[in-house]
């Protein structure tokens, strides 16, 4: 194992931690389909990045109480939901509703999906950095999180973005859509984290690995990944059949352009790639 | 027809630069302050071709109390999100590289810089936004719709910026920063 005792290896570790989300950022930030969003993509990523430290600090205030819980299942559930998914998704929701959805570069409701994913990836980047730097085996942690935690943040971002797009189209403030925007990603995130934290607890008590609970938590972990992937696919299928979401938003159509003639003269909406809908 | 003295005082503006009135309309709140700063800039650099090929930074030092006292919330309130993000992250990164730098004045240094450059930063932001609206939208109605969303201030973003800053600094001061607690 390479020790992080030199600047060179610390830079390598930082690169490994930031690489998965940064690769996605570069893809979205340079793709022609989202060229009108280029600045907002970087802002969304940066906001996700900035909100991560305050969220970690808030969660740290009540973490000692949660760590005192004796039952592995209860403690894992409390950590997964109270310490991780609820504050993290709340932070992302604040970023999305206070800034991203109000930005002038947002032309189509479908843009909200891309931007919410970027907020999640920004969050995942700093989370990854700290997990990698605090790990005893940083190479394994970086590789494992690149294929699990980072895609998870992206996937829950897709789900939050879907409801954000629906919220943009709601004629007035829609509390149910706003609630779904928070609850659906929180449930998916917590469902993913619960078995991870439970297995961590079992690994601390090594003899517990032989317990049937280990297989049970592994099963829940794979089920949560399958559920997240299916949710993302459901969003893509749903969005693909909704021209109101993929087309220009109302404020860029008649309302914004003033009259039909002006609307006709407006630039044609960009086509999203098929895999995004 | 003879022009009014006021007209003579208005400095020439390059074609792709907004007029002071357009900038005041963009700023909305405390518009006169930024308009005066912009007019001052134009009068000092009255080159009509300014910005036609490559737009220079509109940096002209002038003290601005809101930018000095509440830098990050002010930047978010004024919709300068990129700057706000950098100014939230900078003290945190500095504190990691030079532990204790937060107490040694990195925050004060940032606040002083913002106090001196704040007005120019906002005028620069406004000019760029108006130019982007002109570039991206060919018809007046579309441009007006875009600017209606871009201009003015955002109270919710300002409150968000204040919350982020206060909690981040509290987290650092109380030693709750990762990796111990993430």
Per-residue pLDDT, A85? 94
Q: pTM (2 decimals)?
A: 0.83
Check if A255 contacts B (Cβ < 8 Å): yes
Res. A73: pLDDT tops 90: no
Give the whole-angstrom CA distance, residue A43 versus residue B41. Answer: 29
Q: What is the mean pLDDT of residues A144-149?
A: 89
Q: How many alpha carbons fall within 13 Å on the CB side of residue B94?
A: 18
The shortest C-alpha distance from B21 to chain A (Å) reads 21
Q: Do A251 and B139 make contact, defined as CB atoms within 8 angstroms?
A: no
The arithmetic mean of pLDDT across residues A163-180, rounded, is 86
**Does A53 contact B177 at a Cβ distance shorter than 8 Å?**
yes
On whether residue B115 sits in a domain, the answer given is yes
Domain enclosing residue B182, as ranges: 72-182
A60, B82: Cβ pair inside 8 Å?
no
Q: Which of A21-25, A106-110, A209-213, B22-26 has the lowest mean pLDDT?
A: A209-213
The distance of A87 to chain B (nearest Cα, Å) reads 12
B88 part of a folded domain: yes
Q: Bigger pLDDT: A135 or B29?
A: B29
Distance CA B174, CA A77 (A): 27
Residue scoring higher pLDDT (A230 or A8): A230
Distance from A104 to chain B by nearest Cα, in Å? 5
Q: Has the ipTM of the complex gone over 0.85?
A: no
Measured between beta carbons, which residues in chain A are less than 8 angstroms from residue B140? 262
pLDDT class of B157 with cuts at 50, 70, 90: very high
Percent of chain A beyond pLDDT 70? 86
SS3 content of chain B, % helix, strand, coil (to 5): 65, 0, 35
Q: Tell me what pLDDT residue B50 has.
A: 53
Please count the structural domains in chain B: 1
Is A57 in Cβ contact with B142 (below 8 Å)? no
Q: Are the Cβ atoms of B85 and A266 closer than 8 angstroms?
A: no
> How far away is chain B from the Cα of A134, in angstroms, using its nearest Cα?
6
Is B140 inside a domain boundary?
yes
Q: What would the DSSP string read from start to end of B62-83?
A: ---HHHHHSHHHHHHHTT-HHH
Whether the pLDDT of residue A12 is over 80: the answer is yes
Q: In this predicted structure, what is the pLDDT of residue B54?
A: 46
Q: Is the pLDDT of residue B124 over 60?
A: yes
Can you give the three-state secondary structure of chain A, one letter per residue?
Answer: CCCCCCHHHHHHHHHHHHHHHHHHHHHHHHCHHHHHHHHHHHHHHHHHHHHHHHHHHHHHHHHHHHHCCCCHHHHHHHHHHHHHHHHHHHHHHHHHHHCHHHCCCCCCCCHHHHHHHHHHHHHHHHHHHHHHHHCCCHHHHHHHHHHCHHHHHHHHHHHHHHHHHHHHHCCCCCHHHHHHHHHHHHHHHHHHHHHHHHHHHHHHCHHHHHCHHHHHHHHHHHHHHHHHHHHHHHHHHHHHCCHHHHCCCHHHCHHHHCCHHHHHHCCCCCCCCCCCC
- Of the candidates B51, B35, B45, the one whose C-alpha atom is nearest the C-alpha of residue B123 is B35
Q: Can you tell me the mean pLDDT for A98-123?
A: 91
Q: In the predicted model, is pLDDT for residue B82 greater than 50? A: yes
Is pLDDT of A110 > 60?
yes
State yes or no: pLDDT of A148 exceeds 60: yes
The count of CB pairs under 8 A between chains A and B is 119
- The pLDDT of A139-159, averaged and rounded, is 90
> Greater confidence, A87 or B92?
A87
Tell whether B111 is covered by a domain.
yes
Q: Is residue B177 part of a domain?
A: yes
| Per-residue pLDDT reduced to its tens digit, A34-54 | 888 888 999 999 999 889 888
**In-domain check, residue B24:** no
pLDDT of residue A227: 93
Residue B5 — pLDDT band, cuts 50, 70, 90?
very low
Burial label for A175, CB within 10 Å (0-12, 13-18, 19+), is: exposed
Is residue B98, in this structure, part of any structural domain at all?
Answer: yes
Average pLDDT, chain A: 82
- Does residue B14 form part of some domain? no
With beta carbons under 8 A apart, name residues in chain B contacting A255: 145
Q: What integer is the mean pLDDT of B103-122?
A: 85
- What integer pLDDT is reported at residue A44 of this predicted model? 94
A104/B150 touch (CB, cutoff 8 Å), yes or no? yes
């Amino acid at each position: 194992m390479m020790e992080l005792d030199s600047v060179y290896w610390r830079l390598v570790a930082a690169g490994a931690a930031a690489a998965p989300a940064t690769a996605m950022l570069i893809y979205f930030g340079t793709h022609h389909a989202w060229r009108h969003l280029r600045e907002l993509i970087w802002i969304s990523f940066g906001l996700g990045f900035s909100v991560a430290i305050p969220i970690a600090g808030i969660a740290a205030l009540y973490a000692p109480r949660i760590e005192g819980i004796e039952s592995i299942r209860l403690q894992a559930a409390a950590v997964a939901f109270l310490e991780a998914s609820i504050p993290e998704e709340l932070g992302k929701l604040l970023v999305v509703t206070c800034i991203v959805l109000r930005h002038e570069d947002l032309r189509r409701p479908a843009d909200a999906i891309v931007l919410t994913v970027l907020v999640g990836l920004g969050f995942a980047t700093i989370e990854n950095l700290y997990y990698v730097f605090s790990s005893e085996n940083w190479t394994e942690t970086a590789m494992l999180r690149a294929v699990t935690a980072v895609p998870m943040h992206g996937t829950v971002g897709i789900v939050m973005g879907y409801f954000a797009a629906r919220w943009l189209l709601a004629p007035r403030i829609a509390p149910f859509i706003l609630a779904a925007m928070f609850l659906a990603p929180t449930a998916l995130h917590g469902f993913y984290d619960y078995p991870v934290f439970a297995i961590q607890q079992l690994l601390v008590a090594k003899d517990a690995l032989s317990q049937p609970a280990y297989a049970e938590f592994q099963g829940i972990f794979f089920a949560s990944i399958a559920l997240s992937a299916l949710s993302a696919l459901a969003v893509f299928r749903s969005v693909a059949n909704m021209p109101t979401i993929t087309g220009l938003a109302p404020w860029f159509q008649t309302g914004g352009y003033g009259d039909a003639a002006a609307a006709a003269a407006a630039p044609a909406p960009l086509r999203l790639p098929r895999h995004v809908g | 027809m003879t022009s009014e003295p006021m007209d003579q005082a208005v400095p020439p503006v390059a074609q792709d630069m907004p007029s002071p009135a357009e900038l005041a309309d963009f700023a909305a709140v405390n518009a006169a302050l930024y308009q005066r700063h912009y007019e001052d800039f134009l009068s000092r650099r009255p080159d009509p071709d300014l910005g036609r090929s490559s737009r220079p930074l509109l940096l002209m030092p002038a003290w601005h109390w809101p930018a000095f006292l509440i830098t990050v919330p002010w930047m978010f309130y004024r919709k300068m999100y990129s700057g706000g993000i950098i100014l939230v992250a900078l003290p945190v990164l500095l504190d990691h590289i030079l532990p204790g730098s937060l107490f040694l004045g990195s925050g004060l240094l940032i606040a002083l810089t913002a106090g001196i450059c704040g007005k120019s930063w906002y005028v620069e932001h406004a000019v760029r936004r108006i130019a982007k609206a002109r570039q991206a939208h060919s018809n007046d109605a579309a441009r007006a719709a875009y600017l209606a969303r871009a201009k003015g201030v955002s109270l919710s973003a300002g409150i968000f910026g204040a919350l982020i800053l206060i909690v981040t600094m509290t987290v650092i001061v109380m030693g709750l920063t990762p990796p111990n607690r993430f």
